[in-house]
Amino acid sequence: MLLTWDHQLAGDELEYHMEGAFIADGKWFWSSTPYGIPHPSAWKTPGYPLFVGILYAIGGENPDAVMLLQVLLLGPLTITLTWLLGRRLFGARVGTAAAFVVAVHPFVWQFEARLFAEALATPLTLAILLLVLDRRPPMRHVVAAGALSGALVLAKPSALHMLAAVVPAILVGWGVRRGISRAAIALAACVLVIAPWTIRNYIEFDSFLPLSVQDSGIYGVFNDEAAHDDEHPWIWRPNNPRDAELFDPANPLPDDELRAELRDRALEYIEDNPSSVPRALFWNGVTRFWDVRDPDEALNEVQFQGRSRTLTWIGLGIWWVLLPLGLAGLWMARRRLGISVPLVAMFLLATCVYIGNSGTRYRAPFEPVMAVLACSALAAMRPGANMRRFWDGRARENPWFFITNTLDYSQPDLEQFWASGEQDLDMLLDKLGAELKPSHHVVEIGCGAGRMTRAIARRAGRVSALDVSPRMLEVAKEQNPELDNVEWIAGDGTSLAGIPDEGADVCLSHIVLQHIPDPQVTLGYVREMGRVLRPGGLALFQVSNQRELHTAPFHGPRRRWAALRGRWPRGQRAPAWLGSAVDLDDLRAATADGGMQVERIEGEGRPLCLVRLRRA
């Protein structure tokens, strides 16, 4: 607000201000556009004018007060929703980083400091994605996502592309058979929110006008003037010679008739010039919407929207970093169909929707989403990120099987799953001649869903259960809410960060280290055990000492097709599943580096090689 305080209302801001003033005066949804004659109008959808009008009615017709409220309330809301979305999809670090980017990125907050519908559309977009992305949304989320989508469309009618994210997200989360009915419920909720406005328009104009006059906006692109503008090809223009007569104040048309005539002329032009569609799509839907164009053209929009050229330059610089990183993040998440399919569908439909009018401003609701994807790409470059991504995926797919793959994949027996944790703990302690005591603080490396944690917590006084996968930890917390002596810790995939020096009595790990692709990382964990153990403390763990085991099996096309359909486990050839074997001489060296001594090794040359170390 301080940086842009002296701006004058421009472009759509003038219309929103006028409609808000009418509402404050008791004339609901009136406008004098386009003929200067006040009348009940459908020039804009009602969402944002209603927001402005209510604030005008409460505090007077002061646009600066509305914009200040947006900055103070909607700005923090957008930052918070970005943090929540990033944290849920990719972890806390990504959420925090993305929230910071959104807080400083002018292409997000610049529109909160303007009288534009994007101030509402951006947090609504994030809230909807938070409800449905990468999850099996419960019915309340399905209904809420549909209703919020309707509210979003009433604020910004071009946001119909949001449904291209909601419907695929539900179908991916629930599967096509079970998802169709839920997707239909979401669409019904969206329609129910929009319906009162459509009914009002029918009563007012005696014709079907579902949203607003603006869905005829393609007239400004599909005309000879736009087609033959060599400097700004296919750019939207409000006035052109072909349609000038329709805007003659001496012969005003009702909103519904004006909309129909403008739309019909645009469609007629398209029919006569079919090549105009791909050309307009390229220039508007691609280059202008995604800002892959000459920066001077993006800067030319500033004067029509009351924006700052300096802040736009800064915003372009940030955007040109976010765009490639965001696309990289989307590519890295391609196998997470609950993220990739809805977002790709939404982006593609938005590209098509904005064929008629486009620019930097219309992309504002996508900026936080791209920030989340960009930060996820940067996070993926950190050590351990591939492990985290793989095990997050397995936690979403079937955590029980991937922790204990002796279970049936399609119908895992959870009673057997939890019993195996107790059995494996007994076996490990028995083979290595150790016991857990109520006074012990145990660090469990690779706790997964808490299979062995549950058994450890019954015997030890305190447990620090660490795992590289935030999703696995979510499952563990859901399945073990009664374990009040357990601290669940998200690890970094390479160390025991978060565990203090000499703070543990026992470090324990089973069927975990064998999955680490790089044996040097495994040896690093051994050294870390020495750091966190008190003098005299024990390290009890299993590694693989059989190299032949860690080769990719051959899976024919039938199994791969079954995996795609969710009927066969995925990731069987991934490095984070195949893991690696550890050379025992290297293990002994790492033990010495960690200030420990080898007391026992059971199973040399086998995949189930058990090791007992003691801190000197």
pLDDT tens track for 250-298: 999 999 999 999 999 999 999 999 999 999 999 999 999 999 988 888 8
Partners of 613 in the β-ladder:
539, 598
Give the pLDDT score at 550: 80
pLDDT tens track for 493-510: 889 988 999 999 999 999
C-alpha angle with apex 356: 353 to 362, nearest 5 degrees? 65
What secondary structure letter does DSSP report for 499? Answer: S
Q: Rounded to an integer, what distance in angstroms lies between the CA atom of residue 234 and that of residue 304?
A: 17
**Tokens linked to 114:** 């303007």
Q: Could you tell me the CA-to-CA distances from 161 to 316, 330, 559 in Å, in that order?
A: 24, 18, 35
Q: Rounded to an integer, what distance in angstroms lies between the CA atom of residue 357 and that of residue 288?
A: 9
Give the pLDDT score at 554: 54
Task: Using pLDDT thresholds of 50, 70 and 90, give the confidence band for residue 562.
Answer: low
Residue 38 in this model has a pLDDT that exceeds 70: yes
The span from the first CA to the last CA of the chain, in angstroms, equals 61
Give the pLDDT score at 112: 83
Q: Rounded to an integer, what distance in angstroms lies between the CA atom of residue 51 and that of residue 53?
A: 6
Q: Rounded to an integer, what distance in angstroms lies between the CA atom of residue 30 and that of residue 20?
A: 9
Q: Is the peptide bond before 34 cis (omega within 30 degrees of 0)?
A: yes
Fill in the amino acid letter for 416.
Q
The dihedral of CA 26, 29, 31, 37: what is its sign? negative
Residue 8 in this model has a pLDDT that exceeds 70: yes
Residue ranges of the alpha helices (H) in 137-205? 139-155, 163-174, 176-205
Give the pLDDT score at 551: 72
Structure pTM? Answer: 0.73
**Tokens linked to 573:** 């050839």
Nearest Cα to Cα of residue 86 among 342, 349, 374: 374
C-alpha angle with apex 333: 475 to 396, nearest 5 degrees? 20
Q: Rounded to an integer, what distance in angstroms lies between the CA atom of residue 512 and that of residue 522?
A: 10
Q: Rounded to an integer, what distance in angstroms lies between the CA atom of residue 56 and that of residue 49?
A: 10
CA 34 to chain centre: 39
Query: How much is the average pLDDT of 40-62?
Result: 95
CA 13 to chain centre: 30
Residue 563 in this model has a pLDDT that exceeds 60: no
DSSP H or E stretch at residue 346: helix 337-353
pLDDT tens track for 415-434: 999 999 999 999 999 999 99
Q: For the stretch 305-331, what's the b/e string if a residue is b when 16 or more beta carbons lie within 10 angstroms of its beta carbon? A: bbbbeebbebbbebbeebbebbebbbe
Query: How much is the average pLDDT of 384-401?
Result: 86
Partners of 462 in the β-ladder:
441
23 burial type by CB count under 10 A (0-12 exposed, 13-18 middle, 19+ buried): buried
**Tokens linked to 595:** 């200030």
The answer to whether the beta carbons of residues 503 and 473 sit under 8 Å apart is no
Fill in the amino acid letter for 573.
R
Q: Could you tell me the CA-to-CA distances from 558 to 235, 321, 336, 577, 578 in Å, in that order?
A: 50, 41, 21, 20, 21
Give the pLDDT score at 580: 92
Q: Rounded to an integer, what distance in angstroms lies between the CA atom of residue 379 and that of residue 386?
A: 10
Q: What is the DSSP string of 387-398?
A: HHHHHHHHHHH-
**Tokens linked to 220:** 């400004």
Q: Is 489 left (phi over 0), alpha (psi -120 to 50) or beta?
A: beta
**295 or 196: which leads in pLDDT:** 196
In the chain, the domains with their CATH numbers are 12-255+285-379 (no CATH), 385-615 (3.40.50.150)
Q: Considering the chain, what is the average pLDDT of its residues? A: 91
Q: Rounded to an integer, what distance in angstroms lies between the CA atom of residue 220 and that of residue 223?
A: 7
Query: How much is the average pLDDT of 480-503?
Result: 92
Residue 319 in this model has a pLDDT that exceeds 80: yes
The answer to whether the beta carbons of residues 456 and 441 sit under 8 Å apart is no
